[in-house]
A and B are shown apart, each in its own frame.
Chain A
Amino acid sequence: MKNPLDSLWGTVMSGLILTLILHMIVRYALGG
Chain B
Amino acid sequence: MDWATAVPAISRWIHFMAGVMWIGLLYYFNFVNVAAAKAAAADGTAAGISKHVMPRALFWFRWAAVVTWLAGAALLGSNFGSAFLLQKSHLAIGIGAWLGTIMLINVWGLIWPNQKKILGIVPASDEEKNKARRVAFLASRTNTMFSMPMLYFMAAGGHSALFFG
Which residues on A are within 8 Å of B, measured CB to CB? 3, 5-6, 8, 11-12, 14-16, 18-19, 22-23, 26-27, 29-30, 32
Contact = CB atoms under 8 A, between A and B. Distances in A.
22 contacts: A3-B138, A5-B141, A8-B30, A8-B34, A11-B30, A11-B145, A14-B145, A15-B144, A16-B148, A18-B148, A19-B149, A22-B152, A23-B163, A26-B91, A26-B92, A26-B153, A26-B156, A26-B164, A27-B164, A29-B88, A30-B91, A32-B165
Nearest to A32: B164
Contacts, number: 54
B151 to A, nearest CB: 9
Interface residues of B, number: 23
A5 B147 CA distance: 13
B142 interface: yes
Interface in B82-134: 88, 91-92, 95
Say whether chain B's binding surface is mostly helix, strand, loop, or mixed.
helix
Say whether chain A's binding surface is mostly helix, strand, loop, or mixed.
helix
A16 B153 CA distance: 13
Nearest to A24: B164
Given A6-B141, A12-B144, A22-B152, 12 more contacts: A5-B141, A8-B31, A11-B144, A15-B144, A15-B149, A18-B145, A19-B149, A22-B149, A23-B152, A29-B91, A30-B91, A32-B164
B160 interface: yes
B63 interface: no
A15 B145 contact: yes
A5 B145 contact: yes
Contacts of B144: 11-12, 15
